[in-house]
Structure 1
Amino acid sequence: MKLADGIMKYLEASDVEFLFGIPAGIIGPLYDSVIDVGIQPIITKNEAGAAYMAARYASTSGKLGVCVGAGAVGVSNMMNGIADAMRAKAPLLIISGYINRWQMGKGAIQELDGQDMVRSVTKYSNTVMEEADVLTELDKAVRIALTPPCGPVYISIPIDVQRMDVSGSIPAPAVLSELQAVKPDPAQLERTAALLNQSAQGLIMVGRGGRGFSAEIMELSQRLQWPIITTPAGKGIVPADFPLNLGNYGFSSTDAASEYVNSKAPSCVLILGTSLGEASTCNFNEVLVAGRTVIHVDRDARELGKVFKIDEGIHGDLKDVLPFLIASTTASTARYQKPALLNEPYQRNHTGLSLRLFLEKLRSVMPSDTRYVCDIGEFSNFVLKYLEIPEGGDFEMNLDYGAMGSAIAGGAGLHAADPSRPVAVLAGDGCFFMNGMEIMTAKEYRMPITYFIINNAMLSYVDRGQQFLYKRSIPDYKQERISIAEMMRVAGVNAMSINRLEEVAYIPAFVRGMEGPCVIEVNTDGSEPAPILDRLKALVK
């Protein structure tokens, strides 16, 4: 058995479902071997798209994502996707080929050291030069990727090594329940419960780490009668209709979330599963914690106390922490009254279609269990503030790294992780021009993904930022309007354009019975003021 065969058999035994990437000569043996195992190759249009897909598959499913491509140029193209996985703490394995060992140092085609290139954005990085070490190194890398805090790992294997015979046996796959156990300290749990019981009013902040624990988080919130705010990465974990959910906080906070944080009401803040980055804290604004008892729970011990001083930090998994806190806290007799409106009423202060009103209507025309994945741009400020995720729905975004085009490619990763639920991508025209061809990947694999492309024919975030910071801008930020819907129709993708709010009513019929992707182009003129002031101020601070 060749090493390439052994690698694929190991990955299959490790429950790997998909192999995202682009084949090339120096990784050819692996793509030949994948034919003989039950792993589905997803061939993308660019290695960047492959890495984004694998990262989003991993971050939403918790399973190992695998991305395979050529060394040198392939790894260079993957860099943003690898960094995206690093910031999202997604378990991602990148395998790249490398030139023959006898060619090294002679100027061979595609000779470049990928190991050092990716070192700063991976948990582990190695080029395996000896055939006897390949499977051991692969098993080591996979275990590192899946050990909390999870993250990407990189293995490079020369093509001549891939063709060598396996020596020894294939390692047994890791047992996730053992690998990922992060047990909290019982004494810390007791102290935390006591602090919660001593605080009459408080606040629960939910980040990405709360995924999968919606029911327990809501039960604790109801028991304490403490309202919830969610970070951008935690949006959708708690349904918008939950009576104690005040919505997004940090980057483009809802008015209700911002007002409660800035009020004197909460004496304690319980922070669950967030690194408290810039996007989650209004540029590290201490108003979130000032004068309050601060409790932080996270599977990554490095996050505890990193941004704000805390009174109690629990290094543990929410699956252990939340049941204990529910059982050990006293049910409040008070009743928190959620504001009737999370945001100030809409005012017509622009021309053209209102993106705010479009997003507020979207939940009524899309299936309630839709999984939204949001890209990066000015439109994402509107999405975080105004799009409501109902019960049964979900939301995915990696604002911490903030790579434009990541969600257009990443949408396919969400579909691969759970094909039983609809997926909708929210992206701008700038995102489309960066990674839009991955919509063709969805077409070729018949993935029924709805792509909402907000087209304002300009780099509006940049333009507004320049005007705010420097009182002038560059005319080149505004571009000739191109119909993305027409482009997609020529490529064989169903597409429609929305120019007026009334046309939102056509969406249910358009997306019904999809057998592949569709594109809904939302044309705006970019004149609607976006809730971006916090971000612009952060650039000056």
Structure 2
Amino acid sequence: MQLAEAILRYLKVSDVQYLFGIPAGIIGPLYDSLIDVDMTPIITKNEAGAAYMAARYASTSGKLGVCVGAGAVGVSNMMNGIADAMRAKAPLLIISGYINRWQMGKGAIQELDGQDMVRSVTKYSHTVMDEADVMSELDKAVRIAMTPPCGPVYLSIPIDVQRLELQGSIPPPANLAELQEVKPDVAELERASGLINKAGQGLIMVGRGGRGFSAEIMALSERLQWPIITTPAGKGIVPTDFALNLGNYGFSSTDAASQYVNSDKPSCVLILGTSLGEASTCNFNEVLIRGRSVIHVDRDARELGKVFKTDASIYGDLKAVLPYLLEHSQQSSARFQKPSLLNEPYVQNHTGLSLRLFLERLKSVMPANTRYVCDIGEFTNFVLKYLDIPQGGDFEMNLDYGAMGSAVAGGTGLHAADPTRAVAVIAGDGCFFMNGMEILTAKEYRMPIVYFIINNAMLSYVERGQQFLYKRTIPDYKQERISIAEMMRVAGVNAMSIDRLEDVEYIPAFVRKLEGPCIIEVNTDGSEPAPILDRLKALVK
């Protein structure tokens, strides 16, 4: 068989089901081989969208995401999605075609060195010039992508190499259990449990690395009676209505989370699976750890002690750490009393529809198991602070890279990762204008994704930020209001508009029994103040 087919067969036995990308001449043999190998291509509208989809697929499923496209221009278009995967530590394989080896250096069409272009945003980058190395390089790249800390890897394969016959056999798939095992040091575990038992009241902070360990985290919280705060990337890992969950902390903290962190009550903070970046720490504010013993658990050793000094640093996987802490921590006799409200009551200080009130009502009209994926914009602040994720729900975003339009495209990746659950994308009109055509990809693959598009006809984050930072702004940040719902109806996508809060009651009937995506355009006038001061202050600190 040709090497192109062998590549796909290796990926197939490595549990890869989807290839996200756009076909092109120099990657043609790989796409042609899909006819002979049972894998599903997701053909997107732009390579950027393909990379975002594959990154979100990998981030939420833990499986290898695969993105395939042309070298040169295709790789250039993928750059944002690759960087998105790097910051999210998502296992992503990018395979690009390349010109024939005999053409190199002669100025062939689409001749550009993708290997060096992506080197800074990948764990491994290589152009395979020798056909004898293709399968071993593929196996090597996949193992690197799937080894914690996971991340994107890149292989470029000339078109003439793709067409050559396989010499030898297809390597067996990696044993992920062995590849991803990170055993914690027993001495550090003992130190951590000692600090926990010595402390009175404490605090548990949960980041993206807590995904898949909700039950164990809640059990530990209940045993210790330590409340939980979640980072933006960790939102949804613990249900909002859990009796000890104080909500989001960092970027647009809930009032309850901020008040508890700023109080003198916790004497110890247990940090689980977060890199403690700017978005998770209110711009690296030491109030989180000041005067407290600090325990940090992560399976990326580079994150331990990088931001804050720790008293116990555990390099290990939560599947080993959490059972140990549960077994060796003392049951608390105290009872933590969660505030009845996570945020101060709503006060109308604006005109038009309230985005806060809309988001607070969303859980009552969407299926409880909805997986929300949030894009980037001023609305993000409202989502992090006010959107409740119930038991059985989920939440995904990559605020660390902060790419507008990433979730509009990424929703398709979430649906591919688990087609049995509802998926809802929350994005702004600016995000839509960047990557909105990927909604048509969801339409063509009949994916029942709900897209909430917050339309305020302006770049409100920029507008408000400029006013805050420089006391002036320019009119170009505002734009003529365009009905996104009407635009998408023309393209055959079901759409509705919400202009009043009362319109929310029509959502359940509208999203019931979807056979493809739908648009729910939420029209606001942008006058509602957003909880954005932490971010703006960080820009001048």
After TM superposition, the score normalised by the length of structure 2 is: 1.00
Select between 401-410 and 161-170 the one with higher mean Cα deviation: 161-170
Deviation string, structure 1 residues 300-353 (Cα, Å, up to 9, x no partner): 000000000000000000000001100101000000100011101000000000
Deviation string, structure 1 residues 409-450 (Cα, Å, up to 9, x no partner): 000000000000000000000000000000000000000000
**Match status 1:518 vs 2:513:** no
SS of match in other structure, 2:399: coil
The residue number in structure 2 matching 1:17 is: 17
Deviation string, structure 1 residues 440-492 (Cα, Å, up to 9, x no partner): 00000000000000000000000000000000001000000000000000000
Distance 1:287 1:121 in 2: 32
The residue number in structure 2 matching 1:107 is: 107
SS of match in other structure, 2:302: helix
Letter in 2 for 1:536: L
- CA shift for structure 1 position 95: 0.1
- CA shift for structure 1 position 32: 0.5
Deviation string, structure 1 residues 274-299 (Cα, Å, up to 9, x no partner): 00000000000000001100000001
Share of identical aligned residues, percent?
Answer: 84
Distance 2:107 2:480 in 1: 43
- CA shift for structure 1 position 168: 1.2
Structure 1 stretches of 4+ with a deviation exceeding 3 A read: none
Letter in 2 for 1:132: A
- CA shift for structure 1 position 36: 1.1
Distance 2:239 2:171 in 1: 42
Deviation string, structure 1 residues 150-198 (Cα, Å, up to 9, x no partner): 0000000000010111111111110100100001011111111111000
Distance 1:36 1:160 in 2: 19
Within a 5 Å distance, the mapping from 1:356-505 to structure 2 comes to: 356-505=356-505
Q: Give the superposed CA RMSD.
A: 0.4
Within a 5 Å distance, the mapping from 1:222-241 to structure 2 comes to: 222-241=222-241
Within a 5 Å distance, the mapping from 1:138-217 to structure 2 comes to: 138-217=138-217
Letter in 1 for 2:361: K
- CA shift for structure 1 position 91: 0.3
The residue number in structure 1 matching 2:310 is: 310
**Match status 1:254 vs 2:274:** no
Distance 2:6 2:528 in 1: 56
Within a 5 Å distance, the mapping from 1:329-348 to structure 2 comes to: 329-348=329-348
Distance 1:533 1:189 in 2: 38
Letter in 2 for 1:475: P
SS of match in other structure, 1:138: helix
Distance 1:194 1:458 in 2: 53
Letter in 1 for 2:50: A
SS of match in other structure, 1:522: strand
Distance 1:67 1:474 in 2: 39
SS of match in other structure, 2:35: helix
SS of match in other structure, 1:35: coil
SS of match in other structure, 1:36: coil
Letter in 1 for 2:146: L
Letter in 2 for 1:261: V
Distance 2:67 2:102 in 1: 26
SS of match in other structure, 1:452: strand
Within a 5 Å distance, the mapping from 1:20-99 to structure 2 comes to: 20-99=20-99
Letter in 2 for 1:127: T
The residue number in structure 2 matching 1:270 is: 270
Letter in 2 for 1:91: P
Deviation string, structure 1 residues 41-79 (Cα, Å, up to 9, x no partner): 000000000000000000000000000000000000000
Distance 1:183 1:132 in 2: 35
Distance 1:37 1:219 in 2: 44
Deviation string, structure 1 residues 116-162 (Cα, Å, up to 9, x no partner): 00000000000000100011000000000000000000000000010
The residue number in structure 2 matching 1:287 is: 287
SS of match in other structure, 1:306: coil
Letter in 2 for 1:81: G
The residue number in structure 1 matching 2:2 is: 2
SS of match in other structure, 1:439: helix
Letter in 1 for 2:92: L
SS of match in other structure, 1:250: coil
**Match status 1:507 vs 2:510:** no
Distance 1:382 1:147 in 2: 35
- CA shift for structure 1 position 35: 1.6
Letter in 2 for 1:366: M
- CA shift for structure 1 position 526: 0.2
After TM superposition, the score normalised by the length of structure 1 is: 1.00
Deviation string, structure 1 residues 365-400 (Cα, Å, up to 9, x no partner): 000000000000000000000000000000000000
Letter in 1 for 2:399: L
Letter in 2 for 1:170: I
SS of match in other structure, 2:34: helix
SS of match in other structure, 2:515: coil
Distance 1:433 1:402 in 2: 16
Distance 1:460 1:304 in 2: 36
Distance 1:409 1:372 in 2: 13
- Paired residues in the alignment total 541
Distance 1:438 1:299 in 2: 34
Distance 1:161 1:280 in 2: 45
Select between 307-316 and 185-194 the one with higher mean Cα deviation: 185-194
- CA shift for structure 1 position 108: 0.6
Q: Which runs of 5+ in 1 are unaligned?
A: none
SS of match in other structure, 2:454: strand
Q: Which runs of 5+ in 2 are unaligned?
A: none
Letter in 1 for 2:478: K
Distance 2:146 2:393 in 1: 26
Distance 2:104 2:472 in 1: 51
Deviation string, structure 1 residues 246-281 (Cα, Å, up to 9, x no partner): 000000000000000000000000000000000000
Distance 1:38 1:219 in 2: 42
Distance 1:292 1:387 in 2: 30
